């Protein structure tokens, strides 16, 4: 059964930004969007990852889009049944993006984080009680409040500043798992994961000011490792927001590294479906020396290195 990022309900949560479009051969989804100021349209993979059930069907799906879309861009799932060589055959542009921190739960000791993290877990658990939410939709209001604080704190806007309606869709997607951290019966942190096959993906997380004070994220991550240990093999903890391949490590990167057993690369992939139209739009709107794809949307999702597509907001 479809779940997580390749489920139609997940694609529908982006309906505010474009029309969800199914790719019938690979059983994945794109968001078809109007190119502002033109009669043309293009396709974008859902944030934060494009996933599908049959990767071998993706080339024929892309070829079938040439009559209606100028280009397609997406970030390929690092756990997809696809290798970099395949992506380079299927796409015109393949740009190394974030390295995702991953945890192999079959590796001995994988459920035990680094020494510093263990100390912080013990400290957090003195005050933070963590539970698995049986009915995540009942926490929708609490989640929207916490996520609203997150977006304000980090200046998140556009695609990643999901609306309540978008979250209501995402909370109905099969495979969603929500963990709740509370102090004295006050919710101070919520983490969302999608379990799909043998992988659980850290989707989004948000913590209140009191949650930061009591280091609730350490308690929440520790609980997630225990919960998923006998349910999946892999955890995808995502990348570090604002850090691309070759970037300097930051606090979020170091935090995720302390729970991981390794990393996997992700790639921004772009396919030009209407070359003459693409060239015209790029000449009119783009910076010719930029690696951004599609070039005519340069600056829409910007990161420090200029290789931006989107960044993971999972704290």
**Is the Cβ–Cβ distance between 139 and 176 less than 8 Å?**
no
For the chain, the 3-state helix, strand and coil shares in percent, each to the nearest 5, are 35, 25, 40
pLDDT bin (cut points 50, 70, 90) of residue 312 is: very low
**pLDDT (0 to 100) of residue 241:** 60
Residue 129 CA to residue 57 CA, distance in Å, equals 45
β 28-34/176-183 pair status: unpaired
Q: What would the mean pLDDT of 47-67 be, rounded to a whole number?
A: 97
**pLDDT (0 to 100) of residue 249:** 46
**Is the Cβ–Cβ distance between 272 and 278 less than 8 Å?**
yes
Residue 47 CA to residue 138 CA, distance in Å, equals 24
In this model, does residue 205 exceed pLDDT 90? yes
Higher pLDDT among residues 82 and 314, named by residue: 82
**pLDDT (0 to 100) of residue 165:** 95
**pLDDT (0 to 100) of residue 313:** 38
If you classify domain 4-99+264-297 with CATH, what class do you get?
A: alpha beta
Q: What angle do CA 99, 10, 190 make, to 5 degrees?
A: 70
26: phi then psi, degrees, rounded to nearest 5: -90, -15
Q: What would the mean pLDDT of 120-135 be, rounded to a whole number?
A: 96
What tens digit of pLDDT does each residue of 219-270 get? 999 999 999 999 999 999 999 764 344 444 458 888 998 999 999 999 999 9
Side-chain half-sphere exposure of 211, counting CA atoms within 13 A: 26
pLDDT bin (cut points 50, 70, 90) of residue 55 is: very high
Q: What would the mean pLDDT of 293-307 be, rounded to a whole number?
A: 67
**pLDDT (0 to 100) of residue 155:** 86
What percent of the chain shows pLDDT beyond 90?
77
**pLDDT (0 to 100) of residue 161:** 87
Q: How remote is the C-alpha of 147 from its chain's centroid?
A: 15
DSSP string, 101-148: EEEETTSTTTTS--HHHHHHHHHHHTT-EEEE-S-GGGGHHHHHHHHH
pLDDT bin (cut points 50, 70, 90) of residue 292 is: confident
**Is the Cβ–Cβ distance between 300 and 97 less than 8 Å?**
no
Q: How many C-beta neighbours within 10 Å does residue 261 have?
A: 16
User: pTM to 2 decimals?
Assistant: 0.90
Q: What would the mean pLDDT of 176-198 be, rounded to a whole number?
A: 97
Q: What would the mean pLDDT of 42-59 be, rounded to a whole number?
A: 97
């Amino acid at each position: 059964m479809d779940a997580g990022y390749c489920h139609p309900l997940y694609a529908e949560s982006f309906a505010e930004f474009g029309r969800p479009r199914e790719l019938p051969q690979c059983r994945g989804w794109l968001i078809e969007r109007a190119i502002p100021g033109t009669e043309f349209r293009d396709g974008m993979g859902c944030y934060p990852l494009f996933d599908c059930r049959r990767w071998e069907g993706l080339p024929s799906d892309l070829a079938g889009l040439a009559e209606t879309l100028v280009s397609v861009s997406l970030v390929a799932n690092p756990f997809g049944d696809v290798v970099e060589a395949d992506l380079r055959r299927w796409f015109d542009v393949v740009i190394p993006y974030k390295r995702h921190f991953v945890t192999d739960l079959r590796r001995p000791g994988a459920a035990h984080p680094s020494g510093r993290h263990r100390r912080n877990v013990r400290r957090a658990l003195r005050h933070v009680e963590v539970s698995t939410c049986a009915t995540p939709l009942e926490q929708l209001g609490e989640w929207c409040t916490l996520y609203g604080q997150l977006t304000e704190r980090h200046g998140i806007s556009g695609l990643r500043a999901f609306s309540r309606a978008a979250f209501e869709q995402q909370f109905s997607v099969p495979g969603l798992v929500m963990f709740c951290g509370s102090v004295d019966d006050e919710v101070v942190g919520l983490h969302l994961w999608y379990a799909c096959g043998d992988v659980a993906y850290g989707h989004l997380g948000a913590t209140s000011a009191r949650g930061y004070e009591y280091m609730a994220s350490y308690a929440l991550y520790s609980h997630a490792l225990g919960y998923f240990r006998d349910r999946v093999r892999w955890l995808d903890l995502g990348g570090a927001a604002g850090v691309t391949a070759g970037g300097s490590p930051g606090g979020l990167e170091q935090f995720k590294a302390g729970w991981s057993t390794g990393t996997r690369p992700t790639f921004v992939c772009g396919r030009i479906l209407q070359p003459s139209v693409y060239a015209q739009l790029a000449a009119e709107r783009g910076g010719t020396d930029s690696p951004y794809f599609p070039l005519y949307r340069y600056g829409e999702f910007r990161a420090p290195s200029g290789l931006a597509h989107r960044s993971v907001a999972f704290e």
